[in-house]
Amino acid sequence: MNVRVNGIGMTSPRTRQRMIERLRTQGIRDEAVLAAMFEVPRHLFVDEALSSRAYDDVSLPINYQQTISQPYIVARMIEVLRASGPAGRPVKRVLEIGTGCGYQAAVLSHVFPEVYSMERIQPLYERAKKQLLDLKITNVQVRYADGCAGLPGSAPFDGIIMAAAAPEISDALREQLAVGGRMVLPVGRQEQWLYLVERDAKGFRESRLEPVKFVPLLMGKE
């Protein structure tokens, strides 16, 4: 149930709590991720007409043929990113590729101290930046840029998370991982899988996690 006061949507804690309970039954265990998902008002990141469905386990359109990912996949990817790798290094600085409406960036901001997020579609970038500011989230730097080549100027990152699927794992992005860092990303065209790439002193290790469905990673800006 949504109540709107002065144009600011408020969703009852019960609706959010139901989402958290569902995430638990879907296997999400990381309490910090669950707390962040409870905190971030997901309904503010979608069009008002869709806000009553904001906490359902669905992806929703955010215009420009893009979607906000379903809560489960946001939680799952961040949980994988946070799990300490072989080197046991805490994840501090994270890069997200594909800001979209800024929802995942907001969740990331609750669990990591320093977040960079890149978006190639200008109106989405503008709106996400404003929404994060309205929520007084100050530890996310949003960039209007093609994220295919990552953000070498701010590398290395302890974590990289991609919200759009590339046909293969990019070497340029892997190289921007710190030793002990991890990257979680959808890979493939029609058939897509979530991959985890871990970097240690010896090199990279890849694991295939589960089937997923993401919008494609596109080149250039618009």
What is the binding site for ligand SAH (CB under 6 A)? 62, 66-69, 97-98, 100-101, 103-104, 118-121, 124, 146-148, 163-164, 215, 217-219
User: Which lies closer to ligand SAH via its Cβ, residue 151 or residue 177?
Assistant: 151
User: Which lies closer to ligand SAH via its Cβ, residue 42 or residue 180?
Assistant: 42
In whole angstroms, the minimum distance from the beta carbon of 150 to ligand SAH comes to: 10
In whole angstroms, the minimum distance from the beta carbon of 133 to ligand SAH comes to: 16
The burial class, CB within 10 Å (0-12 / 13-18 / 19+), for 179 is: middle
69 is catalytic: yes
User: Which lies closer to ligand SAH via its Cβ, residue 13 or residue 123?
Assistant: 123
Active-site position among 12, 51, 59, 69: 69
In whole angstroms, the minimum distance from the beta carbon of 67 to ligand SAH comes to: 6
User: Which lies closer to ligand SAH via its Cβ, residue 87 or residue 154?
Assistant: 154
In whole angstroms, the minimum distance from the beta carbon of 94 to ligand SAH comes to: 12
- Report the alpha-carbon angle 113-161-189, nearest 5: 170
- Own/partner contacts of 109-115, CB < 8 Å, gap of 24 or more, are 109/137, 109/139, 109/140, 110/32, 110/35, 110/36, 110/39, 110/40, 111/32, 111/33, 111/36, 111/78, 111/82, 112/139, 112/159, 113/139, 114/139, 115/139, 115/140, 115/141
In whole angstroms, the minimum distance from the beta carbon of 20 to ligand SAH comes to: 18
The burial class, CB within 10 Å (0-12 / 13-18 / 19+), for 174 is: middle
User: Which lies closer to ligand SAH via its Cβ, residue 103 or residue 180?
Assistant: 103
Cite the active site residues.
69
